[in-house]
Amino acid sequence: MKPLIVKVGGAFIGDADAARLLLDVIRQLANKRPVVLVHGGGPIVEQWMQALKLKTVKIDGLRVTTQEQMPYIVGALAGTANKQLVAQAIAVGMNPVGLALTDGAMVRCQAMDAKYGAVGSVSPNQATLLTVLLSENFLPVISSIGADEGGNLLNVNADQAATVIAQLLHGELLLLSDVPGVLDADKRLLAELYPSQIARLIEQQVIRDGMVVKVEAAMTAASSIGQPVTIASWKEPEALLRLIDNQSAGTRIYPE
């Protein structure tokens, strides 16, 4: 069965009860198919930035990462956020391994436009490490910190990181946020969406604000891996068990 790549954000990591419930569901999923967890950690980074009185700047939704800030962002994402998730996975009886995009040559990483600072883009490279871990029933927990060929650490968007891991393992991608999926004008969950429908719903402002960003990220991911991507909620983890039977667990976004 195809591996399931689950992307979670930082808001989830800070909610210990929600994390325990979701990771218990992931444990059940992992009994049926290989699972990889990829995470961001924006809220944790924000806490560190505020504590250190460092300014946060975003361009097109991407955090500008200065060389001054990079050690703290690495510490927040590859350290605090990653090890919190690892510890929470241990608490539900799983056998996690904390990793970053830097490890095992799993991706190639290079700096993006200089205006973003130490921010990288990634492409798939070597699946050996993850394949070995999954074959031995470990749960890889991957933070979105990469490094270029010169050894420079780079901050990578977690959605992009998860997409590349899905490409690498030819896996199914599940993007989790704090919403159950995409809703129609009557606030009913849409089980599946195609790009033409999405364009119409955005034009009608049924899909708006932050959901536009999520849906466009899912469309990009679906196109790059050539298969549907699911948007679902970490607040409703029991719904994810439907994935065991290949049923919809939120909104399935199809590629062109």
9 known member of a binding site:
no
Q: Is 98 among the annotated ligand-binding positions? A: no
Short-list 142, 159, 173, CA closest to 214: 159
Cα 226 from Cα 256, distance rounded (Å) = 9
Active site residue 187: no
| Whether 214 is catalytic | yes
Residues 6+ apart with CB under 8 A from 151: none
Q: Which of 24, 42, 75, 235 is catalytic?
A: 42
Asked about 42 being catalytic, the answer comes back as yes
Query: Which residue in 40, 159, 181, 250 is the catalytic one?
Result: 159
Q: CA 146, 60, 57: angle at the middle one, nearest 5?
A: 75
Is 41 flagged in the annotation as binding?
yes
Alpha helices (H) along 180-230: 195-203, 210-225
| Distance separating alpha carbons of residues 241 and 1, to the nearest angstrom | 15
Report whether 226 belongs to an annotated binding site. Answer: no
Positive or negative CA dihedral for 150, 153, 156, 158?
A: positive
Which of 79, 104, 117, 214 does the annotation list as catalytic?
214
Residue 1, CA distances (Å) to 66, 77, 169 in order:
41, 30, 11
Catalytic residue among 10, 117, 181, 250: 10
Query: Which residues contribute to the annotated binding site?
Result: 41-42, 63, 155
Active-site amino acid positions: 7, 10, 42, 159, 214
Query: Which residues contribute to the annotated binding site for substrate?
Result: 41-42, 63, 155
